[in-house]
């Protein structure tokens, strides 16, 4: 399980010395650009698995990993990720498994007391 959490953190958090976006940001950017339902669905399923991994355990023996996990959770609370999950649920009515995965991930996101970043009036998820 520790490896799964570490891998999820590595996908969500860009290395500090890097100027390029994190892996998950790149995947969600691909999901947004793509016109293919399969690419959109599978890309969003990566997000679902990251969320499930990050929420899988509150207690980690390594305090550094616990800090990375918290940072990754805060990153995943961005509106773009919630929007991707909501789109997965909305376009997947023929596939109950995808709907279920999207709902589970959205439910896990909703368990955070801080929630996501609030949008000011006139601001969109893309801002």
Residue 64's SS3 state is helix
Domain ranges for the chain, please list them: 25-110
Residue 107 CB neighbours (<10 A): 12
- Whether the CB-CB separation of 54 and 8 falls below 8 Å is answered with yes
Q: What is the mean pLDDT of the chain?
A: 88
- 12: closest CA among 29, 26, 2? 26
pLDDT of residue 16: 82
What's the pLDDT tens digit per position in 100-124? 999 999 999 999 876 555 555 455 5
CA distance 82 to 78: 7
- Whether the CB-CB separation of 47 and 27 falls below 8 Å is answered with yes
pLDDT: which is higher, 118 or 86: 86
């Amino acid at each position: 399980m520790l490896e799964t959490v570490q891998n999820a953190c590595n996908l969500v958090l860009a290395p500090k010395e890097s100027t390029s976006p994190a892996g998950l940001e790149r995947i969600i950017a691909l999901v947004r650009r793509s016109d293919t339902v399969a690419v959109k669905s599978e890309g969003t399923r990566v997000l679902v698995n990251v969320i499930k991994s990050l929420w899988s355990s509150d207690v980690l023996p390594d305090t550094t990993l616990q800090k990375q996990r918290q940072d990754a959770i805060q990153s995943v609370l961005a509106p773009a990720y919630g929007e991707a999950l909501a789109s997965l649920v909305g376009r997947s009515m023929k596939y109950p498994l995808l709907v279920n995965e999207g709902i589970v991930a959205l439910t896990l996101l909703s368990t955070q007391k801080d929630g996501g970043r609030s949008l000011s009036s006139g601001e969109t998820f893309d801002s």
